[in-house]
Amino acid sequence: MSSILLALIGIAIVIAGYLLYSKYLSKKVFALDPSYQTPAHRYEDGVDYVPTNKYVLWGHHFTSVAGAAPIVGPAIAVIWGWLPALLWVTLGTVFFAGMHDLGALWASNRNRGQSIGTLSGRYIGGRGRNLFLVVIFLVLLMVNAAFAVVISNLLVSTPTAVIPAWGAIVVALLIGQAIYKLKWSLPIVSIVGVLALYGLILLGDAFPVVLPDVIMGLNANAFWIIVLFVYAAIASMLPVWMLLQPRDYINGLQLFIALAILYGAIIISGPTMVAPAFNTNVPEGTPSLVPLLFVTIACGAISGFHGIVASGTTSKQLDRETDARFVGYFGAVGEGLLALGTIIAVSAGFQTVAEWEEIYSAFGEGGVGAFVNGGGAIVNQGLGIPESLSATILATMAVLFAATTMDTGVRLQRFVVQEVGEIAGVRIRPVLATLVAVAVTVALTFSAGADGSGGMLIWPLFGTTNQLLAGLTLAIVAVMLIKRRRPVLPALIPLTFVLVMTVIALLVQMVDFYQAQNWLLLGLDIVILIAAVWVIAEAVTAMGRARREPADLDDADEDADALAGR
C-alpha cells in the first residue's frame, strides 16, 4: 500500500472536518459569539488571565496537549495493523477530539475560565466534582511522571537533542519579551524564533552532549529527571506570557515544519507500508484490538487531558470566543496530523516486514524510538537529510512537546491542589501547591529505584483513566447543551462510545493485572472502574434534571450565576 495515498486521504479527512464539521459545531451547537466578553478580558491579571493572539494561543494549546502521547500511542497501536489505527485517528479527530476540545474550551469560557473539575460540581454535582478531581490528579500524575521519563530517555539515547531542547527555553524567553515588551510583529518574531530553533538543532547535531554515567550520585536518566522537574516547577509559576505562551507557540511552528518535512519526504520517496493493514500474527500476550485500541490511542483521536488544558490555561487566554474554533478544534487537527504521520513513519520506515516484526515483538514495543528511527529513515530517503540530523529533528520535536506538556501539567496540578484546598476550606498559595504537586510526582517517579523507572509504574492505566476523563468532560458539555436546548447528539455519541470502551477496557485490564498479581495496578483499576460507573450514573441523572428544568436560553446566565455564587 502506498504511504502517499494514505497520507493524502488522512490529511483530506481531518482538514475537511475542520472546514465543515467545526463550522457546524461553532454556529449551531455552541453558537460562538464574537461580542461575548471572555474571562481573559474580564479578569485580566497579567499572570494567568491574559488576552492572547489566537495564533499564539493555538501554539500554546496545541503543544501543551500534544506532548509525546500522539507519538507513543499510535506507534504502539500499529501492532494490530496500520488500518485500525489510521481509521481511529482520522475519524476520532473529526468527530471526537474536535468536539471534545472545542466543547471544553467553550464550557470553561462561559464559566469564568473555571476548570473542568470545578464545572463538574456545578453541572453534575458535588460527588461528581470530587471524583473528577481524583481522576484529573491521577491523569496529571501519570503524564508528568511518564513524560519526565520519556524526555530523559531521549536526552540520553539522542544526545544531539540536548542543546536544542534546553536552548529552546532561552529562545522562548526572548520571544516573550519581543512580543509583549518590544511589540515586535508576530511574523518577524516567528521567523527569527524558527531560525534560532533550527540553528540550535544544527548545533546540537554537531555537538552532542553525553553526560557521565554518574552525576552527584545519580545516573544520567535520574539527573535529567530532577532537572526537568526543577525547571517545570519554576516555569509553572511564571506569568504565561513570559515563557509558556512563546515556548508553546514556537514549538507549534516547529512541529508543523517538522511535519512538513516528514510528509514531504513521504510524498517524494513514496515508501511502501511494510506493516500489515490488519496484523493477524500478533505476538503472544497482545490484548484484543477492541477495546484496547481506543484507549491505547488517546491523544490523536480523543484525550481527556485536552479538556484539562482547555479549561485550565487556554480558556483564561481566549481573546474572542470565536477564536475557540481555531484554537480548540484546529488544535485537535494538528494532533491528528502528528498521529497520522507517526502511523506512517512506524509502518513504512522499515525495509522489510521481518525488520518491522523484530521491533514489534511484544505489545508495548515501538513507541517514540520506532517513530524517531522510522521517520528518520524516511526523511533521509526522501530529502537526503543525513539520518543523524533527521533523528535529531524528530527527537527534538518529541522532547519539546513532552516538555511543554510538563510545563502545563505541573501548572494544572497546582490548580488541582489549590481546588482541593478550597473544598477543604484551606487556602494554599501557589508556591506551596507547586511544591506539593512536584513532590508527589517525583516520589512516584523514583518509587521503583534511583533510575526513575517508577514514573512508568501506573502508566498502563493512563489510557483508561484519560478516556474516562474525556467522557466526564463530554458529560458536562452535554448538560450545558441540554440546558440551552441545543443539539446534543454531537456530544452524546462520542460520550457513550468512549465510556463504553473505557469500562470494557478496565474490566479486561483488571483480569490481566490479577493474573499478573500486580496488586497496585489492580487496586487502582478497581478504583477507576468504580469512579467510571459512579460518574456515568451522576451524569445521566444530571442530564435528566437538565431536561426537566426550564430552558436556559440566555448564554449570559451561566456567568451571572457563577458570579453570584449560585
pLDDT tens figures, 229-257: 999 898 888 888 888 788 878 877 877 78
* pLDDT surpasses 60 at 173: yes
Contacts for 561 with CB less than 8 Å, ≥ 6 apart: none
The residue to which cell 511564571 is assigned: 238
Residue 566 confidence (pLDDT): 37
User: Distance (Å, rounded) from C-alpha 75 to C-alpha 165?
Assistant: 22
Lookup: cell for 525: 483499576
Contact 254, 400 (CB under 8 A): yes
Whether residue 471 lies inside any domain: the answer is no
Backbone angles phi, psi at 497, to 5 degrees: -60, -45
Residue 379 confidence (pLDDT): 83
The residue to which cell 502511523 is assigned: 343
Backbone angles phi, psi at 277, to 5 degrees: -65, -50
Q: Which of 312-321, 352-361, 370-379, 485-494 has the lowest mean pLDDT?
A: 370-379
The residue to which cell 507547586 is assigned: 434
* pLDDT surpasses 60 at 554: no
User: Distance (Å, rounded) from C-alpha 416 to C-alpha 115?
Assistant: 9
Q: How many CA atoms lie within 13 A of 284 on its CB side?
A: 0
User: Distance (Å, rounded) from C-alpha 214 to C-alpha 50?
Assistant: 43
Residue 230 confidence (pLDDT): 92
Nearest Cα to Cα of residue 527 among 464, 467, 470, 448: 464
Residue 563 confidence (pLDDT): 44
Contact 209, 172 (CB under 8 A): no
Whether residue 374 lies inside any domain: the answer is yes
- pLDDT tens per residue across span 324-333: 999 999 999 9
* pLDDT surpasses 80 at 365: no
Residue 560 confidence (pLDDT): 45
Per cent of the chain over pLDDT 90 is 35
User: Region 539-562: what's the mean pLDDT?
Assistant: 70
Lookup: cell for 385: 537529510
Task: Return the amino acid letter for 457.
Answer: L
Classify 169 as helix, strand or coil: helix
User: Region 89-111: what's the mean pLDDT?
Assistant: 96
User: Region 100-123: what's the mean pLDDT?
Assistant: 90
User: Distance (Å, rounded) from C-alpha 184 to C-alpha 356?
Assistant: 48
User: Region 66-71: what's the mean pLDDT?
Assistant: 76
* pLDDT surpasses 90 at 360: no
Nearest Cα to Cα of residue 172 among 251, 231, 103, 106: 251
Contacts for 172 with CB less than 8 Å, ≥ 6 apart: 243, 246, 247, 250
Q: What is the DSSP letter of 392?
A: H
Of 153 and 387, the structure prediction assigns the larger pLDDT to 153
Whether residue 492 lies inside any domain: the answer is no
Whether residue 503 lies inside any domain: the answer is no
Residue 250 confidence (pLDDT): 82
Tell me the sheet residues that pair with 214. 219
Lookup: cell for 107: 464550557
- pLDDT tens per residue across span 412-457: 888 888 888 887 788 898 899 999 999 999 998 888 877 777 877 7
Total number of domains constituting the chain: 1
If pLDDT is split at 50, 70 and 90, which confidence band does 67 have?
Answer: low
What string of DSSP letters covers 91-113?
HHIIIIIHHHHHHHHHHHHTTTT
Residue 555 confidence (pLDDT): 52
Nearest Cα to Cα of residue 271 among 3, 475, 55, 11: 3
Strands 218-219 and 214-215: antiparallel
If pLDDT is split at 50, 70 and 90, which confidence band does 557 have?
Answer: very low
Residue 553 confidence (pLDDT): 57
Size of the chain, expressed as the number of residues it contains: 566
| Residues 89, 374, 153: CA angle, nearest 5 degrees | 90
User: Distance (Å, rounded) from C-alpha 404 to C-alpha 19?
Assistant: 28
User: Distance (Å, rounded) from C-alpha 124 to C-alpha 561?
Assistant: 16
Helices assigned H by DSSP within 303-386:
304-312, 323-324, 330-348, 353-359, 367-383
Q: Which of 345-349, 429-433, 486-490, 503-507 has the lowest mean pLDDT?
A: 345-349
Classify 239 as helix, strand or coil: coil
User: Distance (Å, rounded) from C-alpha 65 to C-alpha 312?
Assistant: 12
User: Distance (Å, rounded) from C-alpha 520 to C-alpha 399?
Assistant: 29
Whether residue 9 lies inside any domain: the answer is yes
Whether residue 24 lies inside any domain: the answer is yes
Of 376 and 106, the structure prediction assigns the larger pLDDT to 106
> Positive or negative, the Cα torsion across 79, 84, 87, 88?
negative
* pLDDT surpasses 90 at 28: yes
Cβ neighbours around 19 below 10 Å, total:
10
Residue 258 confidence (pLDDT): 79
Q: Which domain holds residue 80?
A: 3-277+307-448
Backbone angles phi, psi at 213, to 5 degrees: -60, -35
User: Distance (Å, rounded) from C-alpha 41 to C-alpha 320?
Assistant: 9
Whether residue 292 lies inside any domain: the answer is no
Contacts for 89 with CB less than 8 Å, ≥ 6 apart: 10, 74, 297, 300, 301, 336, 339, 340, 343
Lookup: cell for 134: 481524583
Residue 218 confidence (pLDDT): 84
Backbone angles phi, psi at 376, to 5 degrees: -60, -40
User: Distance (Å, rounded) from C-alpha 395 to C-alpha 260?
Assistant: 16
User: Distance (Å, rounded) from C-alpha 420 to C-alpha 90?
Assistant: 37
Peptide bond into 287 cis (omega under 30): no
- pLDDT tens per residue across span 174-211: 998 998 888 888 889 889 988 998 899 999 999 999 98
User: Distance (Å, rounded) from C-alpha 454 to C-alpha 424?
Assistant: 30
Average pLDDT, the chain: 86
If pLDDT is split at 50, 70 and 90, which confidence band does 111 have?
Answer: very high
Residue 562 confidence (pLDDT): 42
* pLDDT surpasses 90 at 358: no
Per cent of the chain over pLDDT 70 is 96
User: Distance (Å, rounded) from C-alpha 2 to C-alpha 25?
Assistant: 34
Backbone angles phi, psi at 44, to 5 degrees: -55, 125
Residue 558 confidence (pLDDT): 52
- pLDDT tens per residue across span 251-292: 778 777 878 888 888 888 888 888 899 998 888 888 889 999
Q: What is the DSSP letter of 214?
A: E
Report how far Cα 433 is from the mean position of its chain's Cα atoms.
Answer: 22
Whether residue 130 lies inside any domain: the answer is yes
